[in-house]
Amino acid sequence: MTNFNNVKDRSGYLGGTDASLVGRLGGGLQAQLNHFLRLAVAYGVLPERYLRQVPKTKVIEAGHQFENYFFDTFKDQTAHVERQYILRKNMEGLPSLIAHADGYDAERGVALELKFSRYHTTTVLMRYYWQLQWYYFLGAKKVILVHGSGELPEDVRMSFRTVEKDAMAQEQLLAGLSRIQQMRPRIQEVAEMIELKDFEKNEK
């Protein structure tokens, strides 16, 4: 069973980091081998070791530090916000769909996505657009991008951007998921081919 509290485990679900792939598939992207591998792991027909491991970097660490800084700074204002909240949605013929919100106000349906980046807020918004739209697809009523920049913790600048729900993006995400459903036999074939090659390699 997938542990949704440990998003390092990427088997059994499609999450926010997969939203770009889902959206691009909905827009007609031709699936490549790495896409099939990710989907095979999502369906649980290949182990996670077949995916490229993302090393922990200073950028990722700065993002975690910014999350702590934000919630410490706005402790009173975010008292009703649950950190590391998992939104879930199930659709027939698909892996579980989840979104891992940095903060979520369940009563109002507001998701907070925190990003620490030197880029302009508009650039950050566009870079993570599919991930932000994914929250709406999974049921959030409002999505707020909290963009931090500068130096932690002495000189931090923050901007807040309410992300509008994009009807066309929602349709494209749905189209992408429908396409993934149709791809499932091929995903299974690719998984079996990869495992066979591994078996033959180990037998030599």
The confidence score (pLDDT) of residue 3 equals 40
Cα gap 84→67, rounded to integer Å: 10
Is pLDDT above 60 for 4? no
Burial class (CB in 10 A: 0-12, 13-18, 19+), 146: buried
Structure tokens at 59: 């950028």
pTM: predicted TM-score of the whole model, two decimal places = 0.91
Cα gap 145→88, rounded to integer Å: 20
Between 6 and 105, the more confident residue is 105
* Tally of CB atoms within 10 A around 9: 13
Structure tokens at 60: 């990722």
Are residues 98 and 4 in contact, defined by beta-carbon separation less than 8 angstroms? yes
Mean pLDDT computed over 90-118: 97
For 22, residues 6+ apart whose C-beta sits below 8 A from its C-beta are 14, 130, 134, 173, 176, 177, 180
- C-alpha distances out from residue 146 to 82, 102, 127, 133, Å: 15, 10, 14, 15
For 149-204, what is each residue's pLDDT tens digit? Answer: 999 988 999 999 999 999 999 999 999 999 999 999 999 999 999 988 876 677 65
Mean pLDDT computed over 122-145: 98
The confidence score (pLDDT) of residue 199 equals 63
The confidence score (pLDDT) of residue 2 equals 40
**Identity of residue 93:** G
Are residues 146 and 68 in contact, defined by beta-carbon separation less than 8 angstroms? no
